[in-house]
Amino acid sequence: MSVPSYEGKTYVAYLDISGFKQMMTNKEKVESVLNKFYTTLYNTVYEVNSDSSPTKMNAVAVSDCAVLFLNKDEHEIVDQIEGLSKMLRFIRIVNRAFIDHAFPFMTICSIAYGMFRYENRRDSEHMRKNCMRGRAYLETFLDSRLEKPKIRPSECRLLKRGLDSGFPKEDDFRLLSSKREYYYFYWMLNDPKEERNYRRRYDETLGMLYDPLIRLLKDTADQTFDRN
């Protein structure tokens, strides 16, 4: 069954492979990563939709990114608690699969709640027409691309704008951490008590990336100076 048309309030997520442009120089890696990306999305949609809930996950994937959204009947509002539970579970499953691949890779993910419209329009020869619009879609796309603070590799965050209240402290909700206008979802953790240590190690790891670059710049500048 194709992705059904939907119009109403729901969760929308924009999921994007981190560092995909750098992978383009390695044909074997790109093909393997994209195959893993599409296969995992496909299998996980069926996995999280196997329960009896009328709220269903949908994924529209193009190249190195995917738009995820939840729907019920065509014009029914998706419940904020039930819907987010399913969205977080999906994000956790796919990201853990991606880093367990032969060529491990990371994604960034931005989630928003609000009005969304998806039209599964009639196909014609050599053309497939899919139309997506609405505040939730626009906000999650812009947040993943333009907003500050810039989302970093492996991060998944939920915009607080449009949400009614907080969330229960159970299941994947335990791994949500409130920071200003966002909830950050630590899908890689099993215990929320690990968050502080994880963030410290993450920042240290990012910081270490500058050391080799500084050494390269210094060595190159020294060689140039010697020649002059």
**Residue 124 bridge partners (DSSP):** 127
Residue 143 near residue 165, CB atoms below 8 Å? no
| Beta-carbon-side half-sphere exposure of residue 212 (alpha carbons within 13 Å) | 4
Q: Which amino acid type is present at position 121?
A: R
What does the CA dihedral 187, 189, 194, 197 come to, rounded to 10 degrees?
-70
| Token pair listed for 78 | 């998706």
pLDDT reported for residue 124: 61
What would the pLDDT profile of 162-203 be if each residue is shown by its tens digit? Answer: 998 789 999 999 999 999 999 999 999 999 999 999 999 999
What would the pLDDT profile of 46-60 be if each residue is shown by its tens digit? Answer: 999 999 999 999 999
Residue 10 near residue 116, CB atoms below 8 Å? yes
**Cα(194)–Cα(171) distance, rounded to whole angstroms?**
15
